[in-house]
Amino acid sequence: MASFIVLSVLIIAMMVMGNEFSGISDAEIDQLLKKLNKPALKSIKSPDGDIIDCVHMKNHPIYDHPLFKNHTIQMRPSSYPEGWANELSDTKKQSMVAQLWTINGKCPKNSIPIRRTKREDILRAKSIEIFGKKDPNSIPQLKKENSPGNRSTHEVHIYHSIIKVNSPRQKFHGAKAGINVWKPYVQTPREFSLAQMWVLAGTPTTLNSIEAGWQVYQNYYGDDYPRYFAYWTADGYNRTGCYNLRCPGFVPVSQVVALGAAVPRVSILDGEQDVFLTTIWKDSHTGNWWLKFGSNIIGYWPSSLFNRLQTGATRVQWGGEITNYKEGSQHTTTNMGSGQFAEQGFKKASYFRNLEILDENDITKPPTNPSPIMTAANCYNIRPGIHPRDGVFFFYGGPGRNPNCI
């Protein structure tokens, strides 16, 4: 009997410990939830388990940022790249199916949909600081801060297969691509697999980065569906920036698209392919950087959030990225793209198409001299090309661990 009690106590203690493993206290969680989840005019339950809060514009998360307490929210872009203008009305070519939650309701006037953060979302993070941020151990210049040989520092590597264009003299004012959507297998909840566009300026430690696309990231979202996301940093991933609305910075204005909500459809091997257009451009009047998915204007990153991007971008990148936590000292089987290598081609490998940039004079054009970059071509690769209809495009991806990638 006594040993039974001891055992029970031990099990209960372990269960409690399990919850506390993250080292985040209940008080910290409550405080963060209160900050992130604004009072809602209406809450909509999505069939996929998300709760969408319709938050009145007067409670907009941007007002939590000390520099934007008095910000006047720009409700719509004051400029749109002429070369991309036809896409605003051409909804067929770049259809974006409504997000699942819209089946159960709409946000009232003057409110925006915000995906509610749940207690479990925070508990899954290792610390409050890391929740919704990039793992500092995956960023080379931040990794150095950790003392070498610290056993508690996990080994994590970022793998890219990307197309990069540089323009040190003439700055970019925007970028665009049709992004093929898949649901890649991700081996462990703390790893992610994504497809995105980067708009960049600065050196590694001063890097200003705007990123958007889709990602599978179980630790952050709680499931393995691909989800629309936006990301920013103004100091090389160090102190500033985060995914979606985890920290104030991005200014959503869409009444129908919530960041972090699941992509409604994914591509099928040898079947129907799903693509959404991602467009990022600099408002020529306000300097704000706008984000559009399909035909929906999502919101903007205020120009004054940044120091380098204020005058334009010096680099644009498109492609896939995964994190590899080397479980069991091996490369994990986390897929990039569809999990197929680039040479598998259409309906098998994932792709980006119609890559375009917006130059300093706000002229849209295909990127010149796009250079492919691969962290490890045996794990994930990329193959660019040009096509009469799909413009500058590339196939990319891979399965992760295989006999040539261990």
Ligand X SMILES: *[C@@H]1O[C@H](CO)[C@@H](O)[C@H](O)[C@H]1NC(C)=O
Nearer to ligand X, 147 or 369 (CB): 147
Give 358's Cβ-side CA count (13 Å radius): 24
Binding mask 115-144 for ligand X (x = CB under 6 A): --------------------------xx--
Neighbouring C-beta atoms of residue 87, cutoff 10 Å: 19
Per the rule left: phi > 0, alpha: psi between -120 and 50, beta: everything else, 12 is alpha
| CB of 153 vs ligand X, minimal distance in Å | 6
Identify whether 87 is a catalytic site residue. no
Phi, psi of 254 (to 5 degrees): -70, 140
| CB of 236 vs ligand X, minimal distance in Å | 6
Q: Are 53 and 112 in contact, with CB atoms under 8 Å apart?
A: no
Identify whether 211 is a catalytic site residue. yes
Among 67, 88, 98, 269, binds ligand X (CB under 6 A): 67
Binding mask 197-236 for ligand X (x = CB under 6 A): --------x-------------------------------
Among 3, 89, 147, 361, binds ligand X (CB under 6 A): 147
Per the rule left: phi > 0, alpha: psi between -120 and 50, beta: everything else, 389 is alpha
Among 180, 219, 238, 244, binds ligand X (CB under 6 A): 238
Binding mask 335-364 for ligand X (x = CB under 6 A): ------------------------------
Catalytic residue among 211, 272, 327, 360: 211
Residue 155 binding ligand X, by CB under 6 A? no
Catalytic residue among 87, 191, 321, 356: 321
Which residues share a beta bridge with 215? Answer: 194, 227
Nearer to ligand X, 125 or 165 (CB): 125
Look at residues 181, 183, 32, 36 and name the one whose alpha carbon lies nearest to residue 115.
36
Residue 240 binding ligand X, by CB under 6 A? no
Three-state secondary structure call for residue 259:
coil
What is the total count of residues that contact ligand X (CB under 6 A)? 12
User: From CA 223, how far away is CA 241, in angstroms rounded?
Assistant: 23
User: From CA 253, how far away is CA 392, in angstroms rounded?
Assistant: 31
Per the structure block, which two tokens stand in for 264? 């409604």
The piece of 23-31, 67-75, 83-91, 313-321 that touches ligand X (CB under 6 A) is: 67-75
Q: Are 213 and 197 in contact, with CB atoms under 8 Å apart?
A: yes
Residue 43 binding ligand X, by CB under 6 A? no
Q: Which helix (H) or strand (E) holds 141?
A: helix 140-143
User: From CA 340, how far away is CA 325, in angstroms rounded?
Assistant: 20
User: From CA 51, how far away is CA 43, in angstroms rounded?
Assistant: 7
Binding mask 68-87 for ligand X (x = CB under 6 A): -xx-----------------
| CB of 238 vs ligand X, minimal distance in Å | 4
Look at residues 205, 207, 183, 208 and name the one whose alpha carbon lies nearest to residue 195.
183
Residue 307 binding ligand X, by CB under 6 A? no
| CB of 174 vs ligand X, minimal distance in Å | 28
- Give the residue numbers annotated as catalytic, written as ranges: 211, 321
> In the complex, which residues of this chain contact ligand X (CB under 6 A)?
67, 69-70, 141-142, 147, 150, 152-153, 205, 238-239
